[in-house]
C-alpha cells in the first residue's frame, strides 16, 4: 500500500495531564480553525490551557490557577475548562495574534461553546441560555422541552443537545426549525445533524441521524473488544463537528474514517475578528482578519475604495472552518493605496458543495 508524507502542523506537544486510570489521555479538543487545545501541567500540577496548530513554533497558553481539570468543548478562539476544584469553570480566550486570556470565570454548570456563545442551563426547567462571550451578556433563551435542568449540553450550528444524566432522557433541539427531537441516552458527541456514541458492552460505534426531525440509529463500526478506554468521547473515536466525518482506532491501531452520510448545515459565520489594525493597516502592519465559519470553504476577499472600485482581490481555501487573510494596504499592482476607509467583501463557497455561498461585508482603514 502506498502512503503520503505527513506535514507537521504544530510544535511538539508538551506532556499533558491525565486523570488516574484514564487511558484515553492526552486530552485534545479540535477548535475548527486548524488549531487544537490541550492541557499542560507544571511541576506543581498547576494547569494551563494550551493551543497550537497555526504554525510549527507557536504555543499560546492561559493559566487556569487550578489542577486535575478537564477540557470541555471549544470552538474557534474559545475553550471551556472544568477545574479540579469543585464548581470551578472557566472559558479561555485565544484571539488572533495574542496570548491567551480568561474570558469568563464562573460556577460550573453544564456548558457548551459554539462560536462566541456559551450555552448554559437557564432558570426554568428545560431552558438553555446563550451567553455572548464578547458582549458579556445573555442574548437568547431556548426552551428545549427537557424535563430537567440539563446535566450536559452540547452545541453545533443550530443543534442543541441536552441530557438529564446517563440514564436519560436526552434530546436535541433544532433551533432552525423550532422542534425537539428525542435521541438515545448515554455518553455521546454531537455533530452536525447527528450524534455519535459507543455501546461499551458490544463495542459498537453508533450514529444517530436526526437531521430530518426523526432520530434513526445505525452501527457505523465495531471497535476492538480489548477496551482500555476510560475517557469516553476523547478516547478511541472522534467526530468532526465542523462538517466532517467519524474516526476511530482499529484493532491494529490505525485510524479509520467513516462517512457520516448526513447533509451538513449551510455555511455560516460563528465569530469574527475583523477590527482594523490599531492606527490603520499598512505594509508593515497588515490587516489580519479572521472569520470563523462552521465548515471549510473556498473564499474571495475584495477591498474597495470609497468610489466602489476594487483595489485588491485575495483568494484562498480553508481546510478548517476559519478564513484567515492578510492585506498589506497595497493594490493588485503592488502599490500602496491612499489612506482612508475601505470596504471589504468576503464571499465563501462551501467546499463540500452543500448549501449556498456566504457573503459578508464591512470596513477597515489604511493609515
DSSP characters over 217-251: EEEEEE--S-----SGGGSSEEE-TTT--EEEE-T
> What DSSP element (H or E) covers 163?
strand 159-163
| DSSP secondary structure letters along 299-316 | EEEEEE-TTS-EEEEEEE
**pLDDT for res 1:** 40
- The pLDDT value given to residue 21: 57
Return mean pLDDT, the chain: 91
User: Residue 99 has what pLDDT?
Assistant: 83
Q: Give the pLDDT of residue 144.
A: 97
How far apart CA 365 and CA 303 sit, in angstroms, is 11
Sign of CA dihedral 308, 293, 35, 93: positive
Query: With 0-12 CB in 10 A as exposed, 13-18 as middle and 19+ as buried, what is 285?
Result: middle
The pLDDT score that the predictor gives to residue 222 is: 92
Q: Output the pTM of the full model.
A: 0.93
> How buried is 90 (Cβ within 10 angstroms: 0-12 exposed, 13-18 middle, 19+ buried)?
buried
Neighbours of 258 (CB within 10 A): 16
- Which DSSP state fits 104? E
| 220-254: b (≥16 Cβ within 10 Å) or e | bbebeeeeebebbbbbbbbbbbbbbebebbeeeee
pLDDT of residue 252: 86
Give pLDDT tens digits for 191-223: 999 999 988 889 899 999 999 999 999 999 998
pLDDT less than 70: residues of the chain? 1-5, 14-26, 97, 227-235
Is 309 in contact with 282 (CB distance < 8 Å)? no
Residue identified by cell 438515545 is 184
Residues 259 and 206 sit within 8 Å (Cβ to Cβ): no
Of the CA atoms within 13 Å of residue 347, those in its CB half-sphere come to 8
Amino acid at each position: 500500500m502506498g502512503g503520503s508524507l505527513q506535514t507537521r502542523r504544530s510544535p511538539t506537544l508538551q506532556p499533558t495531564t491525565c486523570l488516574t486510570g484514564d487511558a484515553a489521555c492526552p486530552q485534545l479538543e479540535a477548535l475548527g480553525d486548524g488549531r487544537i487545545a490541550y492541557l499542560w501541567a507544571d511541576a506543581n500540577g498547576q494547569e494551563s490551557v494550551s493551543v497550537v496548530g497555526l504554525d510549527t513554533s507557536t504555543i499560546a497558553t492561559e493559566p487556569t490557577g487550578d489542577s486535575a481539570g478537564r477540557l470541555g468543548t471549544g470552538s474557534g478562539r474559545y475553550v471551556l475548562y472544568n477545574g479540579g476544584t469543585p464548581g470551578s469553570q472557566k472559558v479561555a480566550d485565544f484571539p488572533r495574534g495574542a496570548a491567551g486570556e480568561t474570558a469568563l470565570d464562573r460556577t460550573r454548570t453544564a456548558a457548551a461553546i459554539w462560536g462566541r456563545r456559551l450555552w448554559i442551563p437557564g432558570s426554568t426547567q428545560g431552558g438553555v441560555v446563550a451567553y455572548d462571550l464578547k458582549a458579556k451578556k445573555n442574548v437568547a433563551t431556548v426552551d428545549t422541552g427537557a424535563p430537567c435542568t440539563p446535566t450536559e449540553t452540547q452545541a453545533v450550528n443550530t443543534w442543541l443537545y441536552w441530557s438529564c444524566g446517563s440514564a436519560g432522557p436526552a434530546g436535541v433541539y433544532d433551533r432552525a426549525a423550532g422542534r425537539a427531537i428525542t435521541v438515545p441516552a448515554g455518553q455521546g458527541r454531537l455533530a452536525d445533524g447527528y450524534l455519535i456514541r459507543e455501546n461499551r458492552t458490544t463495542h459498537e460505534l453508533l450514529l444517530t441521524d436526526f437531521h430530518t426531525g426523526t432520530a434513526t440509529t445505525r452501527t457505523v463500526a465495531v471497535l476492538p473488544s480489548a477496551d482500555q478506554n476510560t475517557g469516553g468521547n476523547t478516547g478511541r473515536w472522534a467526530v468532526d463537528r465542523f462538517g466532517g466525518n467519524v474516526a476511530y482506532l482499529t484493532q491494529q491501531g490505525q485510524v479509520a474514517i467513516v462517512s457520516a452520510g448526513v447533509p451538513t448545515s449551510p455555511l455560516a459565520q460563528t465569530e469574527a475578528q475583523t477590527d482594523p489594525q490599531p492606527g490603520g493597516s499598512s505594509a508593515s502592519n497588515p490587516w489580519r482578519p479572521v472569520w470563523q465559519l462552521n465548515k471549510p470553504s473556498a473564499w474571495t476577499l475584495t477591498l474597495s475604495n470609497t468610489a466602489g472600485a476594487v483595489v485588491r482581490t485575495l483568494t484562498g481555501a480553508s481546510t478548517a472552518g476559519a478564513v484567515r487573510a492578510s492585506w498589506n494596504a497595497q493594490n493588485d499592482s503592488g502599490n500602496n493605496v491612499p489612506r482612508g476607509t475601505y470596504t471589504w467583501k468576503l464571499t465563501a463557497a462551501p467546499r463540500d458543495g452543500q448549501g449556498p455561498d456566504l457573503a459578508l461585508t464591512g470596513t477597515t482603514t489604511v493609515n
